[in-house]
Chains A and B, each alone.
Chain A
Amino acid sequence: MRMLTGLSPLDRKLLRDLWRMKGQALAIALVIALGVLMLVMMNGLVRSLEDTRTAYYERHRLAQVFAPLQRAPQSLLARVAVLEGVTAVAGRVTGSALINIHGQPLPLSAQAVSLPDRGEARLNDIYLTSGRRPDPSHEDEIILLQDFAKAHGLKSGDPLSATMHGARRTFRIVGLAQAPEFLYSAAPGEFVPDDARFAVIWMSQSALAAVYDMNGAFNQLLLGTSADSSLPAILDRVDTLLEPYGGLGAYGLADHVSNRFIEEEISGLRVSSRTVPPVFLAVAAFLLNIVISRMIQSEREQIGLLKAFGYRDIEITLHYLKFILVIAVGGALIGCLLGVISGRSLAQVYQSYYKFPFLLFQVDPMTFLIGVLVSILAAAAGGMVVLQSVFRLTPAVAMQPPAPADYSRSAALASFLKRFLDQPGRMVARRLLRQPGRAAGGVIGIAAGMSLAVAMLNVMSAFDRTLELSFSLIDRSDLSVSFVEPLSDKVLYELQSIDGVIEVEPVRTVAVLFSNGQHSYRGAITGLPPAVRLNRALDVRQQTIPMRAEGVVLGAALADILQVKPGDMLSLDVREGRQPQLQVPVTGVADTLIGSPAYMALDSLNRVLREPNRVSGAYLRIDSAKQDTIYRQIKALPAIAGVSLKQEAREAFQTLIDTSAGAVRYLMAAIAGVITFGIVYNSARIAFAERARDLASLRVIGFTRGETAFVLLAELGIITLLALPLGGLFGYFLVFAISEGFSTDLYRVSAVFVPQSYGIAALAVIIAALLSGWLVKRDIDRIDLVSALKVRE
């Protein structure tokens, strides 16, 4: 210990005490570390995703306003450019396409987008990852979305066969790209993105215009706007200007599908980062508080001695504060480090998931500061309260071992105890009764740990329920098809006539702007047939909600966004066909967990559009033995825009919740487990430290090791058993907070209560208690009888 010579004797005591208690100090530090880890990781992820998104958007000049329309001449662009608040204008051609890949049973959906013939795009430019931009003089040259290419093993130089505007063409891939507007891209009619099943094809303006008959014209207007401009005013003016050209309603970046998805994911993560880590940190802080206070309690004789020497309260406080700080700051720093490491590795998952070309994991320095400060405060608070109570004693009293606790209060129980318990049993019972506060602390601590485990297990089940409800109960089809444009319902007979198709159910999806006062949402209404069987709106009891002739049924998430309940009126601004504006009553709220759907009766929907007997897609139930031939025949149909297999959609959703915001749940569950164990183990250790001398006395007077261990472990056992129901109860309330934190507009995680989760959490606590008990039992067996009795520490 030569290196310690420069330190004051108190500091040397500190270091040696830390070393002596290294196991426990480390256990406490790790509990803090886990709380801080959550905080740093989650906040870091949110910040990094936000920063990356902003940087990516700016670098590639993502438009602020998107306006789809039927067709307008290029000359119109000059008139748009002079609108107030508009800083940049671009008109481009877009269209839907189907890609035929050899070996794929069904055609894959794609969107074709034009690039200027020369130079970079003024707005919505691409990030070319390999190859070059298409040469306008070669009409077959295309750039393909990189992740789609990767999913199918395509590279620059490969040919690609696609059906555009009803004709099959063969193209040559000259480059691969990513784009900020396709960070998150799902096939039409689908909710969950899947790299393998949706592509973007970029072509030169002149080549694509030729394909879609748009020479000298455009069908999508992009605008850049100044920061101080009023978005609603610009949208209004653009809509007015585009009306003669079949404008379908301009919308801002906030309503852009890809941006909205990513915004939702980030805000979901943001909510999680604000609700979940504090819960973990609070539990860690609580535990720390208990542990530190008991540790100091056990030092009271040394504190009395220091006071007898003439050390001031402040000097002694500083000494223990240092002790606490080493543990708290050490734990917090470990947490920061682990938080950055786990945040980094999660960020990589997010980066590939969101297709960011880069992602810098950065944590706001404030987050580190908060993590460290919370840890210090929690630890210091625990220490200070006890120190104050020790300081209140005169040194003479503090130096003596605490007076034997007065067990006479439990005397009334004596006869009862005597009748039913043997001597060790009575010791356990009296100790618990004599110090109910201490026992309660232990119970609450373990219950808090268990509640985390209960809550996380329930939340895990809630994710499964979301999947189950959405893909087994609400959607009972095998596959769904969507058409390029609404078709006559005669197409249903065509589908029905395919050999092996058991059931066909029509559906019509119409883009709609929902609004209720200040609340609005750009979504879609799904028209459902009367005797709906395959794709249903379900109430909370999982019964089909019948569609009335009037009114709309909203998914729970949408009702929430719009702040409406059944009976309220809602404005619908239909963005298709003759674009009617409607006032309809909300007739019901459906228990949906994915997306924000709205439902109407199919006939009513067609009536308001004045387009009777139209369908935009269909749900099919098929004989799986004949699926290959069914796929082949569907692929041959001309009007198909996309085909989605439910199984694939389900898998894609599973991927979504496993790789996006939901991925954190596994880590959280693991941390909940570790914290639970940490609490149980620390409780056992402290109980042992407090009673080592009593236990040695028992051994000396002839108790066996087993009997001695019983006195301590029975207490731990009773505290653990008392903690189980309480932990379940805490967990019940925690489920609401945590599942709310995980819910996004994309999917909801409802608070579910699975009996098994209580059982598993209780079992985990019991196993942790047994393991801790066994570890402590080893120490009891090793008590040095003589020294434990002789030395007053």
Chain B
Amino acid sequence: METDKTEIAFTTAGLTKVYGEGSATVHALRGVDLQIPQGELVVLLGASGSGKSTLLNILGGLDQPSSGQVSFFEQNLSRMDDADLTLYRRDHIGFVFQFYNLMPSLTARENVELVTEIAENPLSPEEALALVGLSERMDHFPAQLSGGEQQRVAIARAVAKQPRVLFCDEPTGALDSTSGRQVMEVLQQVNRELATTVVIITHAATIAGMADRVIHFADGQIRKIDLNDQKTLAQNLVW
């Protein structure tokens, strides 16, 4: 999975997203122009309501833009219909959510299998769980795991299909600092070892230290982009 770092994974042009009508209209994105190179660890930084989750949803194929263009390598996401977007997610994208979103009725291993089942060339659930350090707890149900462990299962589930891109929406939002740091370590490791492009949404500025690229978001627009030459190791992040 060695990829040329200069290759561009995502390109957006004039991306907008409008919710609601009339007086209730919300402009979540107001013209976003952006390029994300393959293999980078990108942090999207912004206050809540700044539109960063909307951008992530559109890049991840979970939602459609109101106008503008978005493409993944040569594929034009903004022209895809529901079935194509499903395939796109299935083949290329992994998600990690703030609230883990594990199926409560499935064990850790089974939650991972849920994805390996439909993936082309997946890691085995055991490998994926070993990657996040949960080999010992594979047969536990979500209710038997701590928040950090649940989030690591969610990461294992997301990376098991060896996606080209991993989207993480506030992955540490519901965690204490120790668990949060562990989760970030895992994400950094995935980025390094599997060469997966990792896009992390957060409003915690300290996380920016471990990113290749930090995109500052406000009012549905990009304010500035910082490139980071001196990446901090996740374990050294100050919370």
A residues at B contact (CB < 8 Å) = 8-10, 12-13, 16-17, 20, 301-302, 305-313, 315, 394-397, 399, 787, 791-793
Contact = CB atoms under 8 A, between A and B. Distances in A.
B88 to A, nearest CB: 8
A20 B95 CA distance: 27
Contacts of A20: 105
Given A12-B106, A305-B101, A394-B62, A310 B57 contact: no
Given A308-B95, A396-B57, A793-B104, A9 B117 contact: yes
A12 B89 contact: no
Contacts of B114: 9-10, 13, 306, 309
B104 A791 contact: yes
Nearest to A4: B110
Contact of A17 (B60, B105, B142): B105
26 contacts: A8-B113, A8-B117, A10-B114, A13-B105, A16-B105, A17-B105, A20-B105, A307-B62, A308-B62, A309-B89, A309-B95, A309-B118, A310-B90, A310-B93, A310-B118, A311-B86, A311-B90, A312-B86, A313-B82, A315-B118, A394-B64, A399-B101, A791-B104, A791-B142, A791-B143, A792-B99
B212 interface: no
Nearest to A310: B90
List the 3 shortest-distance A-B pairs measured between CB atoms, nearest first. Answer: A310-B90, A16-B105, A396-B62
Nearest to A17: B105
Contacts of B62: 307-308, 394-396, 399
Given A8-B117, A13-B105, A310 B86 contact: yes
A7 to B, nearest CB: 10
B90 A309 contact: yes
Interface residues of B, number: 31
Given A394-B63, A394-B64, A396-B57, A310 B105 contact: no
Contact of A9 (B86, B87, B89, B110): B110
B97 interface: yes
Contact of B89 (A10, A17, A310, A315): A310
Given A9-B111, A9-B114, A399-B97, A310 B87 contact: yes
B8 interface: no
Contacts of A9: 106, 110-111, 113-114, 117
A309 B115 contact: yes
A313 to B, nearest CB: 8
Contacts of B60: 308
Contacts of B113: 8-9
B89 A308 contact: yes
B103 interface: yes
A308 B167 CA distance: 11
Contact of A396 (B63, B106, B117): B63
A747 to B, nearest CB: 56
A17 B103 CA distance: 10
Contacts of A396: 57, 62-63
A793 B101 CA distance: 8
Interface in B177-199: none
Contact of A311 (B63, B93, B111, B118): B118
B238 interface: no
Nearest to A14: B105
Nearest to A10: B114
Q: Which of B63, B86, B87, B91 has the most CB of A within 10 A?
A: B86
B83 interface: yes
B62 to A, nearest CB: 4
Contacts of B89: 307-310, 395
A8 B115 CA distance: 11
Contacts of A313: 82, 86
Q: Which of B60, B82, B143 has the most CB of A within 10 A?
A: B82
Nearest to B64: A394
A126 B45 CA distance: 98
A10 B64 CA distance: 27
Contact of B83 (A8, A312, A399): A312
Contacts of B101: 301, 305, 399, 792
Interface in B56-91: 57, 60, 62-64, 82-83, 86-91
A315 B115 CA distance: 13
Contacts of A17: 105
Given A310-B90, A312-B86, 8 more contacts: A9-B110, A12-B110, A13-B105, A308-B95, A309-B89, A309-B114, A396-B57, A396-B62
Contacts of A394: 57, 62-64
A312 B60 CA distance: 16
Given A8-B117, A307-B86, A310-B86, A13 B99 contact: no
Q: Which of B63, B104, B143 has the most CB of A within 10 A?
A: B104
Contacts of B88: 310
A411 to B, nearest CB: 15
Interface string B127-159: 000000000000000110000000000000000
A399 B101 CA distance: 9
Given A308-B95, A310-B118, A312-B83, A13 B103 contact: yes
Contact of B106 (A16, A301, A395, A792): A16
Contacts of B104: 791, 793
B174 to A, nearest CB: 8
Contacts of B115: 309
A259 to B, nearest CB: 61
Contacts of A12: 105-106, 110
A13 B103 CA distance: 8
Contacts of B118: 309-311, 315
